[in-house]
Structure 1
Amino acid sequence: MKPTSSSPGLRALSASLREVREARKFGLRELARALEIDPRLLSQWELGMRVPPVEEVARILGYLRVDRTTTERILFLATHAKEPNWLDSNPSDLPAALTAVMQCERTASQITNWSPLIVPGLLQTPDYARALLTASGIRVDEADARLMARLDRQRILSTRQPVRLRAIISELAIREMVGDENLMSDQIDHLLVLSAAPHISVRIVPADVGYHPGKIGMFALYEFPADPAIVYMEHYHASAFVNELDAIASYRKLVKLLLDKALTEEASQALLREAAR
């Protein structure tokens, strides 16, 4: 069963078109006039209300003289904009999927992260994030770009109207050593500080609860004010977005199962304080 609103690819495409235009200091009406496009139509493309033809996207990028790497990424988004589910299995320095993730995070009213092995990206300290990227064998320049993008994403938690974040984290992610003891202690202290914010909930699933389907892998559930939810899953060399309503219902059931197994917020904070010693 397919939703009727914008897909993950369309969300990423609309944001990318707006960003490249603004980066080159073009007003929307100015660009529309230069390309002989109805400004209302161009606005709808940038808002994700309509899907632009791939040829028109290529024409916009050519007129703005966008670099080859960015052009390839945006044309990839344009090609997949209508797909309710989307697999990105060819990550670049900043994968197309990351653009979709950032747009989902910026427009969501609530995000639920399930993370069985590492601290979720939105809650990572810079040192923790850097250690993960370094251990993954990523080139230094690529690691720098991904680190900056990750830190920029975290700004959604500190705006005047921040997104509500529900982080469900396995105890294994807290006990697993990333970097050294000082780095992990700082990371856990950071989780404690963030968990005190009214819009952030941190719940820990004890390591000894036994098997549950959440152990299959991490995911993020993005809820929007008016549109159907989107689920994002990330693996080593591939990322996937799920936008079908039946699949979303299954993930909502999984979230409920994980919350039933998780400690309360107060008990989770107690575990974090113990782990930080």
Structure 2
Amino acid sequence: MSGLMRRRRDAEGQQTPCGSWIDRRRTQAALGKLQPKRPCQSRERSQKGGPQEPPNFTRHPNCAGCSMNIPIWISWHNSPTGGRMQPVRADYALSMAATPKSAALGQALRAAREAQEPRVSASGLSVRLGWSPSTVGRWESGARVPSPVDVATLLTELNVSAALREELVAMATTTGDRHWVAMTIPEQRRALAALLEAERDAREITIVSPLLVPGFCQSAAYARAIMQTGQVPAHEIEPRVRTRVGRRDVLAEDNPPSVQILLGEAALHRLIGGPAILARQLRLLQAIGGSPTVDLRVVPLASPWAPDLEGPYDLHTFEGARPATVHVETRMSAIVLHEPEHVTEYRNAAVTVQAVAMPPRESSEFIGETATRLEQQT
């Protein structure tokens, strides 16, 4: 392919997974001309006898009349072999409300832009692509959600790897989902980044952990023992340990979040790393529980059933209109929930667990007694 043809391809289109080419200029022109300012305006014009949408363009049915969704029009694809332009209806809708996944997408777009040499500003990149100067910045901050076509356009301009482009375009197609299930390794890493960002920004953090000292409270030796036994690649262990230990830095901030930790008694007896490592971990737990903004409670083994037996989770509540989130980790995936009804279920579960847990002072004394017995074994 000649340099001229390559530049024309990069300027006009982006290849899709099906092998078609999205014609950027025609798609953007269609979106710019036909997308109403409010989702209901076009329908109102039709009801009043005003101009109809052209027959080649159809709005996504889920968007009609919904004030929270932007209408998505047919994207134009050009087959490289057929050479004929034909409309293909998009099967997704973009939510105007930010979600944890859209925020993670924004962070990934920022990282891709900042990796450029020479570095280009968000406004400069927007202008270079013919968009409003604030467009890319609003995507990166999570204030607005880009379409997959926009993401492909931006990443093509940045000349990122094909693997990264495919990953982020795939993320962009599902940013409005009711929950985020991260199954692949790259997506799990982005979910972890979203968890760290949530901990930095949260005003209240609730951690429920029935069997293991939660990552937020783990010592370096305890975390390292878990990763070594868990067959984490050797070259990844120390960076992961530093990241995990650094999560507690939020407690040293000028305005730290309120943290409630509901810890199962079983975590105090599981000899991860051996008695000496566990004893030091329990002393660290005592110190964390003594922080003025931390409420640490132990759930006794003798307590009746409570929802902590269903598994661990972290709940983050933020100031302002930002929705609360719940992070749930399994061996094979990470799940992030943000729908109010889902968050409420987990919030109510924490209240139930707290009702069967020891008070903070009694919990601290119990942890200390357990640590003393372990220290006597070493």
1:245 aligns with 2:337: no
The aligned counterpart of 1:102 is 196
The aligned counterpart of 1:125 is 219
User: Pick from 257, 265, 275: which aligns with 2:360?
Assistant: 265
1:18 aligns with 2:110: yes
Q: Distance in 2 between matches of 1:111 and 1:61?
A: 35
Q: 1:8–1:96: structure 2 CA closer, same or farther, 3 Å change rule?
A: same
The aligned counterpart of 1:87 is 181
C-alpha displacement at 1:224, in angstroms? 1.3
Q: 1:172–1:56: structure 2 CA closer, same or farther, 3 Å change rule?
A: same
Cα displacement string for residues 164-184 of structure 1 (whole angstroms, at most 9, x for unaligned residues): 221111011111111011111
Contact 2:188 2:334 in 1 (8 A): no
Q: Distance in 2 between matches of 1:163 and 1:21?
A: 31
Q: Distance in 2 between matches of 1:108 and 1:72?
A: 31
As a proportion of its length, which structure holds more helix? 1
The aligned counterpart of 1:27 is 121
Contact 1:15 1:103 in 2 (8 A): no
| TM-score computed with the length of structure 2 as normaliser | 0.67
Stretch moving more, 152-161 or 37-46:
152-161
Q: Aligned pairs, how many? A: 276
C-alpha displacement at 1:11, in angstroms? 2.0
Cα displacement string for residues 45-97 of structure 1 (whole angstroms, at most 9, x for unaligned residues): 11211111123223333444445665555444323211121111222496232
1:170 aligns with 2:271: no
User: Pick from 321, 324, 331: which aligns with 1:229?
Assistant: 324
Q: Which residue identity is paired with 2:197? A: Q
C-alpha displacement at 1:257, in angstroms? 0.5
Contact 1:73 1:96 in 2 (8 A): no
Contact 1:77 1:96 in 2 (8 A): no
The aligned counterpart of 1:139 is 233
Identity of aligned residues (%): 27
Q: 1:104–1:66: structure 2 CA closer, same or farther, 3 Å change rule?
A: farther
Contact 1:93 1:146 in 2 (8 A): no
Q: Distance in 2 between matches of 1:241 and 1:8?
A: 7
Q: Distance in 1 between matches of 2:164 and 2:367?
A: 41
Contact 1:123 1:191 in 2 (8 A): yes
Between Structure 1 and Structure 2, whose CA radius of gyration is higher? 2
**1 or 2 for the larger relative contact order (CA 8 Å, sep ≥6)?**
1
Contact 2:188 2:333 in 1 (8 A): no
C-alpha displacement at 1:238, in angstroms? 1.3
Q: Which residue identity is paired with 2:202? A: A
C-alpha displacement at 1:121, in angstroms? 0.8
Q: CA RMSD in A?
A: 2.4
Q: 1:76–1:156: structure 2 CA closer, same or farther, 3 Å change rule?
A: farther
C-alpha displacement at 1:206, in angstroms? 0.9
SS of residue in 2 equivalent to 1:6: coil
Structure 1 unaligned segments of length 5 or more: list them.
none
Q: Distance in 1 between matches of 2:280 and 2:162?
A: 40
| TM-score computed with the length of structure 1 as normaliser | 0.89
C-alpha displacement at 1:32, in angstroms? 2.4
Q: Which residue identity is paired with 1:244? A: E
Alignment map for 1:204-219 (pairs within 5 Å): 204-219=298-313
Q: 1:186–1:58: structure 2 CA closer, same or farther, 3 Å change rule?
A: farther
Moved over 6 A (4+): none
Q: Distance in 2 between matches of 1:116 and 1:257?
A: 14
